[in-house]
Amino acid sequence: MPDEGPPKNLAEKYASLFPIGAAVDSQSYMTHAALLKTHFNSVTAENEMKFESLQRNENNFTYDAADRIVNFAVTNKMKVRGHALVWHSQNPAWLFSNGSGGTVSRQTLLTRMKNHISNVVRHFRGKVYAWDVVNEAMMEDGSYRTGNLADGQRSRWHEILGESYIAEAFKAAHEADPDAKLFYNDFYNYIPAKQQGIYNMLKGLLDQGVPVHGVGLQAHLNIEPSTVTTNQAYHQNVANMEEAIKLYSSLGLDVQVTELDISLYIPGVTYNQSTFYTTATFTDALKAKQAARYREFFELFRKYKSVITGVTFWGIADDNTWLSEFSSGRKDFPLLFDVNHTPKPAYDAVVGF
């Protein structure tokens, strides 16, 4: 038998298929540098490129934290995805204000949005190959996220500008960097109604000649779908994810999996302090179950290697995941590497082909 050499790492294993990325923060790209440089060839800044991080005060852009991440990536020959230019969340207070206690005018907000996009995209031009231009603009029923929703859910962008802000954002990003790939990014793409709503929006934009190049499927998954028919995660299965890939790619768009992780917690099930998982209760059986879930989704991603142009995990290892902060005191273990940065069965499932 010929010598096949040492086992390939994650990025090497997928080198002929698509880049493998990880979301990093201002600390994790250093504390997890060994894993990052060994197994990944793309990075996304988890929060450092969002509006309030870059322009907390009007026309005062602060790039230090984002620059450090980008420079690390460039030095280590990694691709960089920019995330995210326009989102309903994590915006500075001044953005939607007229400065006198009222709401900003339509024209002023449009100018502010275009100025932000132009400044940010030009700053990273030649280093960031793809941008999530608009993030989470659609609701689960396939309608636009509007200003009529509760705080934390509503979109002031849509409230003040209407749906036209989406097209204007893509146009501004393209003008700032004609070579960058521009993505629309969202979650719950496996819900049929939302899937269709996103498709209709994207088709409308493309029909208008708006420069949209791809769709990001966030893919924050769970170890199993919900069994509650009214829970959105009831639809969380490979078949529905495949429909999303087929539907969006039929428009000629790239598809990227942008925020992948698999939580141990099942949607629709009530947990409390006594049932939260710990390193002790993250059993071998649970690890195997999580691995099987990763395996089936990566089989799907490989099947569509002709249209999937990247897969990014939302984190690097289980010691640093947003899911452990999402619900106070509830530890989660959603990634391929454990809290000690050791490959889990989920890792073996992803590279075992």
Give 161's contacts (C-beta < 8 A, 6+ positions apart).
106, 109, 110, 113, 168
Place of tokens 């995660």: 233
Question: Distance (Å, rounded) from C-alpha 222 to C-alpha 236?
Answer: 8
Encoded amino acid at 240, one letter: N
Check 48, 168, 224, 259 and give the catalytic one.
Answer: 259
Has 325 been annotated as catalytic?
no
- Residue showing tokens 């590497």: 337
Taking each helix axis from N to C end, the angle separating 164-176 and 192-207, rounded to the nearest 10 degrees, works out to 60
- Is the CB of residue 109 less than 8 Å from the CB of residue 160? yes
* Buried/exposed code over 104-135 (b: 16+ C-beta within 10 A; e: otherwise): beeeebbebbbebbeebbebbeeebbbbbbbb
Q: What residues are annotated to the active site?
A: 259
